[in-house]
Every structure is written in structure tokens, then in C-alpha cells.
Structure 1
């Protein structure tokens, strides 16, 4: 039996797909295929955060229904499945089952129930032990919590993933050790608000916070690097930042979602922090880790955003000079507070698009300016990718602080740690030359 899976959206969805794959491999004997035409089961793991997710979903269903072989099943999973439920089957009879983002552990159950719909956001699989998928590689994802308690005005996640529950420490340590034993060298911890870990468990549990979890993971022999996403600025207290700086296995690269630089807009978004708090946390972080890599998310054109509000966002961009920035024009999502505010609060699309272009163009300039400052610096990278062909030979990997460095003309083993000197730039990209391969 062959399985084809299409994963849309965030790292959390990617991890959910890995869990479903491992369950189907272990319990049903499925093997992955890259060709949907050969599949006995086609899964679409959906995302509600992307623009026009429903249109995307039904377009994909239609395409798969045309090409699937006789007897093959189609399952719709993930966040859009959570909030649409049985509507999906009503609109697309070719779909055999619907599985919500909070119900991943039920994949082998719904597979055998015609037209099954399992989308409860109250279901708790925080103590369910998933098997480690085959061929994990050198990097792996590890969920440390499910759900979200925040009430951000623009976000649908609480409606698709339910209340926040942390996964017990003993289960996390067991899974992390399994991953390392399978060859994983770097683990990415996942949660909607990872640095709120320990706020709530569904079973009796010793008191622990995110800093404590990082200390426990640091003890795992053979684990070289720990990354995580996404921490919430509101929970970035000094204890968290000091552990981030102290812990030798925690990579000095961090994603800190800004969303807006305007305190007024942040209040409307219900983010819980101010522009001043955000900049204060950046200042504290850089006092502890001067060369820290910082990435962010920014929404442009949120309802009521004025020119002055947008300028506040530009001010933060200039002050922080993010290494990576994911930026988007606001678009309403079903079941969110801001979707009900009405057109009178909306920012004209032309205005929002213009602001986004200004933001992104300035960020590109910053990347070019800062890339030149990297010349001559030496980093240790974990080789993540390589290619050897008559046309091109290269290797590339990331430094501890998140710098992606390409080594042209050298074919290095994936999983090796290599000392690299930055010798050139290509726009905002870095080109390196290897100096030494480490054990």
C-alpha cells in the first residue's frame, strides 16, 4: 500500500504529517510515494493561516480526484479540516474522511470508517506516543505542546487546535533520545508558544518551565543542537533569555514574532505587549548574545493601521535589522475577531500592498548591508544539503546563529560539522570556504 501526502503551512503541520506517516507505516504497512497517481491513500494536510485556504483545498481535492487510481482514498487533515468538518465531504464527495489538527493520533481509525469526521478541538493526544518515522535524517521536529490559549484577533489557530496543553517531560525526553539514536543531530522544538511550556498539563506533572526543559534536553548525549519556534514576546522574561544565552546546545538564533511595531495596533491585535517591551527584550537579548540571529513575522495593513502605525513598524525594522523576515498583507480568517470588524476598519488593499513593498524592499537593503559585515568571519555549520553534478558542485548549511552559508565547489557530507570562512556575498546571501571538518 502506498501513501501520498501533501503538507501545507507551518512546521507544526509538517510534524503532524510525520506523525501520520509513522502511524500508517507502523500499523497499516504503508510506504511513501512521490506520485499521487500510484497512491492507495492520498492525504491533504491543510493550513488555515494561508490566504484563501478553502479555495486552495477544494482545488487540490478536485485535482487528486481526477488522477487517483480506482479504489484509492482521499483524506483531508489539518487546520482547515478542523474548522470546516463535515462541510468538506458535503462539498467534495470524493473525500473519504476528515481529520482535524487536534486528532492526528486517530489517523488509522478514520481510515477504516467511511465518511468519518473527527475534528474535536477538545481531544487530548498530548500523552499519545507516536513512533519515530523512518529515515528521519539529521534534523527533526519535536512537538512540546499542542493548542494555543492566546486570543490574537487575527488568528484562527485556537479554533483549529484547541487549548494549550504541554506534553509531559518524560515523553519528550524519550522521543528526543529515540531521534538522536536514529542519527538526528539537531532538534527543532515546536509549539504555538514554546516558551509558555509547562503552563498546563493534562496529567499530574512536576512543575517545570521552558528553561527547565532546555536544561533537561541539554543533557542528552549525542544531541548537538536545539532550536525552537515560536516563542511569544510576552513570555520572554529574563530567566528565559538567560537560559537561551547560557545553554551550549541551544542555537543562538531565535524567531520573535513582531506582527506590528505599533503599540496601538498590537493592542488591537490582542498581542499583550508593546513596541517598547519588544525592543527592550531585543536589547536584553543582544546584551547577552551580541551575535544572535533574529527572525520575525510582520502583518501589514491590519485593520485601522495608519501611516504612523506603519512607520512604527519601519522603526522597529531599522532598530532590530532582522536576519529573516516573513511579511504579509493582512487578510481576514473565519472565526477570528478581526474578521467581524467590517469594511470601515479595513485598510485599502492598494495602500497595504504599497506598505508591504516598502517594508520588504528596505529589508532586502538591510540584508545586503549586513551581509558585507560577515566577510572574513568564521562559523561552524552543520551541512544540510549538497549537490554534485557536471553543472554544479556545492554544499550548504547553517551556523549556530542561523546564517545560511553556501560552499561552492565543495561536496561535503550531510551531517558533518564544518568550519567555514565567509569569503563573498551574493546580495544578502553568504558564500563560504571550508577551513576544517569537525568530528
Structure 2
């Protein structure tokens, strides 16, 4: 049988795209997955271009795969870097057989039969395409609810690589979620560049709807016990959405709310559409409704116009919100973005200093938060276990997204159990089972 090897870089959206690629090739072309690139007949690299480093890594990866692959094996480059470099990839790396952009993954079964094909049309619309399904889903599943992005953030290349935002029809989403539930999926992770902008545009006539309504409808599906989503945009976090988040028992009480900067001036220059005050207002409203909510965020340090005072405003927001998870990066200039044209970039030394300051303070916050978890009770969805004496344990995540290990118990995958946090072992939370 033909064998497929796939390497996925970047975000959850790329992971979902890879799932689509795998299912299409398995069901329509007879491929089976392999973890060894040397035995593959087709090698796919699903790329990320949000930052410069993964993009630079691409050509190194192509060279390494070309050196070890079977003589007739094909190499395909997919994803966001494919979208904006296009045929330049094949010019720089002739060993690549085809290039497939992030907005064109439904064409995978076509391009594998076309030598040197380049499909990178960001206006292509596959929002109503019925992708092949994974025959054996896990207890957790990814579900795209939209493609593309309409925002104009000055640092971000995504609108250039994924095109305009289009929502996937509600009926398709409900049908897929229903089928996933029937196969044993307990938790859905809804994906979109701005999930709470859902419903703004459809390819075909569609009843008016929004993200809050979609959450209600997905929650009505029997068997789906938990719903998560990433990422909502702070600008669209209205009271209706926050109140549904708080009162709906199936919506996990953890949320990713990208900040990017704590300075209103920098946010304006980033074209984020909200202010520091609006962001903090939404956090205050959210915590008033769900005091135990887990909040994660993204922060970019050393944006070209960021002053020391601007950075201190970011530190202020960090101290006020006390984020549970922080994804933080030094600004990376990207092609096709307005910010690339800005002058007087901040020195690498200063950028690294600011990032280290931010991350150091966040580690202190996490250490305190871990101590405060002792004695708290969580409902934990069991995702993994080990039954090899003397290592016998189960682990899973609370609805606030905390990973908790339960020693001396082997619990069924997909079960949801009450657990009290007993202690903190080097940052890992250790829990004890409670009677059900």
C-alpha cells in the first residue's frame, strides 16, 4: 500500500488541515500513514508562516527529506508558506513535486497527480466542501467553523495566506458534530481565525446567525460533553457571548483572548480594533461571571513602535489579568504586512530583554496560581493513562484547561471524574479521586 508521511508546523488550524489531507488521501487514494519518512511514497510538509523562523526552516526540511526519501517518492509543500511563496518554492527546491496553499487543501487528490502543480489561490472557497472523515476519531476532535480572516492587523500575514473570512454552514457543522458524537467524541475544539465573528459571511444563502447561537446549537447534541474554541477576538466579545460562556455547562471555562499589547497606542498601530480599556473591561466582565475562569493570551513584544512605557503597560495588564497561559514572542517582520514598512526596529538585545522580563514575571504568576490550586475540586476529562507497574496513573484536563495527573487509578478514556488537587509536583498538579 502507498504510504504517507506528514509533518505539521504551526497552529491548531494547521493540525486540522493535516487531518483533512490525511483523510482525503486515505479514503480516496488508498494511502496509509507512516511515522518513517524513509518508507513514504508521499511526504507532505504543512507549513506555517506566522513568524519568520518556521518559514526559514522549510527549505532545510525539504533538503533533509530529499536526502532520505525513496527514489520515486514525492514531496509536497502545503499550508501558509505555500500560499505566499507559491512557485518560488519549486524554483528554490526542485525536489518539491507540488505546492498547495492553505486555502486549497481540498485539491490534494488532484495535485498529487500533477507534476510541479502550484495551487495557491486565496480566493478559492471550499467552505461547503465535504472533506473525508477520519474513521477513528479520538475523544477530542477539531472542528473548523470558518476559513480565512477579514482583519487587517499590521503584523499578520494570515489574511494574505488564508484569504477572506467565510463561515462554514451551520447545518454542515451540526451534522459533523453529530457524527463525531456517535463515534465517541466527548470534546470539540472549534477553530477559526476569529471564531466569535462566525456568521458574518457565507458562500450561499444562510439564515442569520452568530457564534453564540452556534454554541447553543452544538451544545444540544447528545454525547458532546465539552466545547472549547480558539481564538475569539476581543473586539467581538459582547455581553451576549460572555453570558452564554458563563451559563452554558458544556462550554469549558477556559478561554484564549489574544492581547498582543497592553498599550492602546500600540494596539492602534497594530490595527487591533480595541483599546487596553476595552480589553480589561471584557476581562472584568468575564471574571465577574466566572471567577474561576482560565485565561490564556498571545503577546508580541518589541513591535517596531513599542516604547519602554508601552511595554510597561503590557506588564501592567499581565499583572492585572494574571494569565494562566502565555504565548509570547518577539515581533517578527512578515512580508505583505504594513508593519514591515515601519522604521527604527527595536534592537535584538532590547527585544530579548523585554521578552525575558515578561516571561519571568509570568513564571512567578504561575507559581502562585499552582499553590492556589491545592484543595480545589475539578471535573477532569480523562485523556491518557499508564498501566505499567509501578507507574499506574491517569491524566486529563479540567474545564479550566489545567492538566491534572491522578496516581494509582486507571480510568476509562473519555470519562469525566471529580478530582481534588492534592499537591503540586514541580508545576504539575497531582489530584485524588473523589466519590462520584
Superposition TM-score, scaled by structure 1 size: 0.97
- Report what 1:316 is aligned to: 317
- Report what 1:97 is aligned to: 98
- Report what 2:196 is aligned to: 195
1:393, distance to aligned residue in structure 2 (A): 3.0
The more displaced of 425-434 and 199-208 is 425-434
What is the CA RMSD across the aligned residues, in angstroms?
A: 1.1
Is the CA contact 1:368–1:427 (under 8 Å) kept in the aligned structure 2?
no
Cα deviation, 1:327-382, whole Å, max 9, x if unaligned, reads 1111111111111213x2x1111111111111111111111111111111111100
Is the CA contact 1:7–1:13 (under 8 Å) kept in the aligned structure 2?
yes
- Report what 1:152 is aligned to: 153
Alpha-carbon separation, structure 1, partners of 2:103 and 2:71: 30
1:388, distance to aligned residue in structure 2 (A): 3.1
Cα deviation, 1:382-406, whole Å, max 9, x if unaligned, reads 0112223356333211111112111
Is the CA contact 2:51–2:332 (under 8 Å) kept in the aligned structure 1?
no
- Report what 2:286 is aligned to: 285
Alpha-carbon separation, structure 2, partners of 1:414 and 1:13: 25
User: Is 1:178 the counterpart of 2:179 in the alignment?
Assistant: yes
Cα deviation, 1:70-125, whole Å, max 9, x if unaligned, reads 21111000000000000011111110000000001000000101110000000000
Alpha-carbon separation, structure 2, partners of 1:17 and 1:91: 24
Alpha-carbon separation, structure 2, partners of 1:428 and 1:153: 36
Cα deviation, 1:1-40, whole Å, max 9, x if unaligned, reads 1110000000000000000111111100111111111111
Superposition map of 1:34-183 within 5 A: 34-183=35-184
1:60, distance to aligned residue in structure 2 (A): 0.4
Secondary structure at the counterpart of residue 170 of structure 1: helix
- Report what 1:232 is aligned to: 233
The more displaced of 187-196 and 416-425 is 416-425
Is the CA contact 2:51–2:333 (under 8 Å) kept in the aligned structure 1?
no
1:50, distance to aligned residue in structure 2 (A): 3.2
Is the CA contact 2:47–2:55 (under 8 Å) kept in the aligned structure 1?
no
Superposition map of 1:355-374 within 5 A: 355-374=354-373
Secondary structure at the counterpart of residue 434 of structure 2: strand
Secondary structure at the counterpart of residue 373 of structure 1: helix
- Report what 1:432 is aligned to: 431
Secondary structure at the counterpart of residue 373 of structure 2: coil
Alpha-carbon separation, structure 1, partners of 2:224 and 2:54: 37
Report how many aligned residue pairs link the two structures.
435
Alpha-carbon separation, structure 2, partners of 1:224 and 1:37: 40
Change (3 A) 1:279 1:125: same
User: Is 1:2 the counterpart of 2:3 in the alignment?
Assistant: yes
Superposition map of 1:181-330 within 5 A: 181-330=182-331
Secondary structure at the counterpart of residue 254 of structure 1: strand
Is the CA contact 2:259–2:299 (under 8 Å) kept in the aligned structure 1?
yes
Alpha-carbon separation, structure 2, partners of 1:235 and 1:88: 37
Secondary structure at the counterpart of residue 173 of structure 2: helix
Is the CA contact 1:132–1:178 (under 8 Å) kept in the aligned structure 2?
no
Alpha-carbon separation, structure 2, partners of 1:361 and 1:428: 15
Alpha-carbon separation, structure 2, partners of 1:36 and 1:50: 26
1:428, distance to aligned residue in structure 2 (A): 3.5
- Report what 2:396 is aligned to: 397
Alpha-carbon separation, structure 1, partners of 2:243 and 2:56: 45
Secondary structure at the counterpart of residue 383 of structure 1: strand
The more displaced of 290-299 and 396-405 is 396-405
1:209, distance to aligned residue in structure 2 (A): 0.3
Secondary structure at the counterpart of residue 14 of structure 1: helix
- Report what 1:406 is aligned to: 405
Cα deviation, 1:217-270, whole Å, max 9, x if unaligned, reads 011011100000000000001111111112121111100000010111111111
Structure 1 runs (4+) deviating above 6 angstroms are none
Change (3 A) 1:368 1:184: same
Question: Structure 2: which 5+ residue stretches go unaligned?
Answer: none
Question: Structure 1: which 5+ residue stretches go unaligned?
Answer: none
1:427, distance to aligned residue in structure 2 (A): 4.1
Alpha-carbon separation, structure 2, partners of 1:262 and 1:34: 45
Alpha-carbon separation, structure 2, partners of 1:153 and 1:209: 26
Is the CA contact 1:364–1:428 (under 8 Å) kept in the aligned structure 2?
no
Is the CA contact 1:9–1:50 (under 8 Å) kept in the aligned structure 2?
no
Is the CA contact 2:82–2:99 (under 8 Å) kept in the aligned structure 1?
yes
Secondary structure at the counterpart of residue 141 of structure 2: strand
1:52, distance to aligned residue in structure 2 (A): 2.3
